[in-house]
Structure 1
C-alpha cells in the first residue's frame, strides 16, 4: 500500500533518508516550486520540544542561509511549523543544497590519506572558515563528519550555524557530546564550557589535520570527559612521531593550531592557510626546533596549572556521565596523579624562573593592554599613558562596531620597550555593497552588473508577460540601492517572451480575435469550406496548439463556411 509523500510548507517533498546525526535526520527532497533536488534536514523531535532550542535553531539557520561560498553547503530555506500554528508538533527543518560526494570521515576510515590530499582538504575547510568568520559566524563543530568531498574533489563544509544552537543549549560537556556525537574535536575552551570565538574552529581544524596525517586523533580516551581533559591539559605528540611518513614541515603547523591558549594559535584562518602553503615549500624543522616550540606552546606555568586544576574540577563534577564501576574510576585516579605532577612541575618551573630573573627589571618594559572593542581615541590615550606610540589601520568588520579596535599588533599581554609603535586595527563597520538597478535590464547585462557589484546571481525564474521583451528583468529579490554584504545572492524574475494561449475552439471568431490581440498575438481568420457554416461564425480549429507561445506569433482561426 503506497503512502502519500510528506510535503513541508506545501513546497518541499521529503523522500528517502540519506543520513542522520545526533540532532537531526537528513532526507533527499525535491523543491516542487523551483523543480530541483534538495537535502532536507529535520530536527530531532526530542530537541524540538525545547522552545528555546527551536528559536535558536531557526535564527541560526537563517544566519547560515546568508552565506554563499563554494566551500560551504548552501542553505536555501528554513521553517518552523509551530511559528504559524502554535499547536503543531512538527519539528523545524532546513532545506540545503544536495551534495553528491563522500564524507571526510569515510575517506579517513578507508586508510592513510596522501599528504597533498590532506593539505587540500584542510585548505578547503579553512577557506570556508575564513569566509564564515569574516561574516561573523563561528561553526563550533568542525569535524570530518561535517565535511563533504564532492565527486570533483571540492571540499564542502556543512552544518554552519546550528552548532551554535547546540552550544547555547548545553551546559555540560556530556550534554553537548550527546548531541554533537564526539568530544574528539573540542577546543580546550569548549571542553571547559567557556565562551568561544573563531580560534576554536582553528583548533578543531588542527585536530582534523592531525588525524589526516596520522590516521588517529591526537587525544583518545574511554569517555568524552577523559578526552576533554586531555584537550585541556595534555601535550600532543608531533605527527611525525606517530607516522614517520608525515612531512616534518607540518609538525609546527599542527602544534601551533593545537595550542591550549587561543592567543597562541593562528590569529585567523587566512594565517593558517598561509602557514600551510609555506610549510609545503619550506625545509622541515629540526627535532630541537620542534621541542622548543612544544615548550613554548605547552610549557607549564602557574596560571596554566591553576586553569588545569579548575577545568579538572569542572569536568569531574559532571554528573551526566554513566558510572561503570562501584569505586572511583581508575582513569580519574591517574588523572589526579597527573594533575599533581603538573602542579609540582609548575611550582618548580616558577621557582627556577624567579631564581634566574635579574635583580632589576628594566623600567622601560611595558605590557600591551587589551584594547579589543575599545574606541580608537581611548586606545591611543591608554597607549600614550604607557609611553607607547600608535598607528591606525582601517579594516572592515562585521563583529566590531565602527571606530573600535579589532586587534593590536603586538597582541595584548606582550612585553615591549617604551616608545614601541603599536598598530591599532580599527573597524570601519561591516563591509557593504550597493545593489544596482536591475529591473528593465537584459538578463546578460544584469548578470554583469551583479558581478561588478560583488553580488551573486541566484535563481532565475521565467514569467509570462505580453508587455515585456524576452530575458528582461522584471523584479529582483533585493531592492535597488539597498546596502547588503558582499556576495549576497540576488534572485531574478525575467520575462519569458511568451504568453499562454488557451483553447479558443467554439468561441466566435470576433471574440477569439480580440482575445489573441489582447495577448499580443496576431489573429488570422481562415475559411474552411469542408464543414457546415454557423451563425455567428465560430472557431472550428486553430493553427497553434494551446500553451505558451512567443509574443507576436500568428494564429489561424479556422471557421466553417460550407453548406
Structure 2
C-alpha cells in the first residue's frame, strides 16, 4: 500500500480528450504543488529537461509487456523514436490506493539525475480505443534497462565481487542524496526497485510509495497507511512514528546486505519478523564470512550496522553515506 496523499491531490479524471494528445490534471494543480509542470510540446525528440503533462499517443508504439505489480503493468516501447518504459496504473481492488500510487510516482518527476529513472510524460487520460478499463493513469519513462538488482543478486550465476557491490551501493546512495535534497523520500527502496543499465549504472525506480516531505521545519509527517516492502521497512514506520529520509537509509542497509551476501534478509512468518524487528531489534545476520574475512568486509559491516540502527538519528544521512562509501575502496 503506497503512502497516503491528501485528497486535494486526487483530482477528477474528467478532462478533455483528443486522439493525438491528452492533458492530465497535473498541469492544473494549485500553486505550490510539486506536480505543477509545464505542458511542453515535443517536436521530433523527447525533451530531456522537462517532463510533459501530455502524452502524444500516436507516437507511442510497439508496447510489449515486461513486468507487472500491484497497481499496473510496465511495457517496453518507443516514443518519438526513443526506447521507453510505459507504466499503466490500473484500479485493481482499491481505487483510492491506485490513484495514490499514480500521484506518488510523480513526486520525483521534476528531478533529473543519472541514478534516478527519468519521467518523460504522464497523464490520467487514455483514449478509449487504448484503454483496457479501470485505467488510473499512464507514465512514460526512460528505459533504464531490463535488469534489476534483485535479478543481479539472485538470478545471475557469476560471482558478485565486493567492489562491484560497493559501486552499485554508491549509485543508490547518490540517488538518495538527490531525492532527500529535494524533500522526497522513496519509502520502498529494495533490489527489485533498482534498475541496472547496460553500462552497469544503477537507477532508482518505482516511486509509487514515495512521499513529499513538508517544507516546514517543525512539521512531522506520520503515515496512516504504511507503504513499502516489509523486509526493508524502517521500524519507526512500523511504530507509527514520523517519516524522515533516514527511513530510506534503513532500507539501503538491508539492500547493501543483500548485495554482499546474496541471501534473503529473513526467513519465517511475516508478522513474527515485523514484531521482532520492532521489539527485539532483529536484523539480518552480520556473521557471514563476507563481513569477517577482509578489512573491506569489516568496514561494510560497520556501515550497514549504522544504516539499520533502531534509532533513526544514529543513521547516517545520504551525504554521510556517500562519504563513507567513497573511502571504502
- Listed one character per residue, the Cα deviations across residues 82-134 of structure 1 (whole Å, up to 9, x for unaligned) are 8x9xxx74231211101234211111113552110110001000001101111
1:248 aligned onto 2:298: yes
Q: 2:66 aligns with which of 18, 25, 36?
A: 18
Task: Select the residue among 270, 273, 287 that pairs with 2:322.
Answer: 273
| Offset at residue 72 of structure 1 (A) | 0.7
Q: CA deviation at 1:26?
A: 0.3
Structure 2 spans left out of the alignment, 5+ residues: 1-21, 23-54, 212-220
Question: Residues 242 and 226 from structure 1, CA distance in 2 versus in 1: closer, same or farther, beyond 3 angstroms?
Answer: farther
Pair 14,274 (structure 1): closer, same or farther in 2 beyond 3 Å: same
Are 2:90 and 2:136, in contact at CA under 8 Å, matched by a contact in 1?
yes
1:104, 1:144 within 8 Å by CA — same for their partners in 2? yes
* 1:107 equivalent in structure 2: 152
Residues 61 and 78, structure 1, Cα contact 8 Å, conserved in 2: no
Paired residues, number: 255
Q: Which has the higher strand share?
A: 1
Give ranges in structure 1 of 5+ residues lacking alignment: 1-6, 281-563
2:82 aligned with 1:36: yes
User: 1:538 aligns to what?
Assistant: none
Match 2:205 to one of 141, 147, 158 = 158
Contact 2:172 2:202 in 1 (8 A): yes
**Equivalent runs, 1:128-277 vs 2, <5 Å:** 128-160=175-207, 162-164=208-210, 176=227, 182-218=229-265, 220-232=266-278, 233-236=280-283, 239-241=286-288, 243=290, 244-245=292-293, 247-266=297-316, 268-277=317-326
Query: Residues 58, 236 of structure 1: CA spacing in aligned structure 2 closer, same or farther, 3 A cutoff?
Result: closer
Pair 1:38–1:108, CA change in 2 (3 A): same
TM-score scaled to structure 1, two decimals?
0.42
Query: Residue 120 of structure 2 aligns to a residue in which SS?
Result: strand
Q: Secondary structure at the match of 1:163?
A: coil
| Matches of 2:146 and 2:198, distance apart in 1 | 5
Superposition deviation, residue 221 in structure 1:
3.5
Large movers: runs of 4+ above 4 Å: 170-173
Q: Which has the higher contact order (CA 8 A, sep 6+)?
A: 2
Contact residue 14 and residue 40 of structure 1 kept, 8 A: no
Partner Cα distance (1:250, 1:51) in 2: 41
SS at match of 2:254: helix
> What is the DSSP-based 3-state SS (H/G/I as helix, E as strand, rest coil) of the residue aligned with 1:141?
coil
SS state at 2:184 partner: coil
Q: Secondary structure at the match of 1:91?
A: strand
Note if contact 1:236-1:255 (Cα within 8 Å) is conserved in structure 2.
no
Measure how far apart 1:171 and its partner are: 5.1
C-alpha contact (below 8 Å) 2:195/2:204 kept by paired residues? yes
2:143 to 98, 105, 110: 98
SS of corresponding position for 1:128: helix
Residue deviations 1:261-306, cap 9 Å, x none? 100111x1110111122344xxxxxxxxxxxxxxxxxxxxxxxxxx
Q: CA RMSD in A?
A: 2.9
Name the SS of the counterpart of 2:107 in structure 1: helix
TM-score by length of 2: 0.69
Contact 2:71 2:98 in 1 (8 A): no
Please list the CA deviations of residues 511-561 of structure 1 after superposition, one character each: whole Å capped at 9, or x if unmatched: xxxxxxxxxxxxxxxxxxxxxxxxxxxxxxxxxxxxxxxxxxxxxxxxxxx
Q: Which residue of 2 aligns with 1:63?
A: 107
Q: How many angstroms apart in 2 are the aligned matches of 1:142 and 1:78? A: 22
Cα distance in 1 between the residues matched to 2:148 and 2:72 = 17
| 1:229-378 correspondence runs (5 A) | 229-232=275-278, 233-236=280-283, 239-241=286-288, 243=290, 244-245=292-293, 247-266=297-316, 268-280=317-329
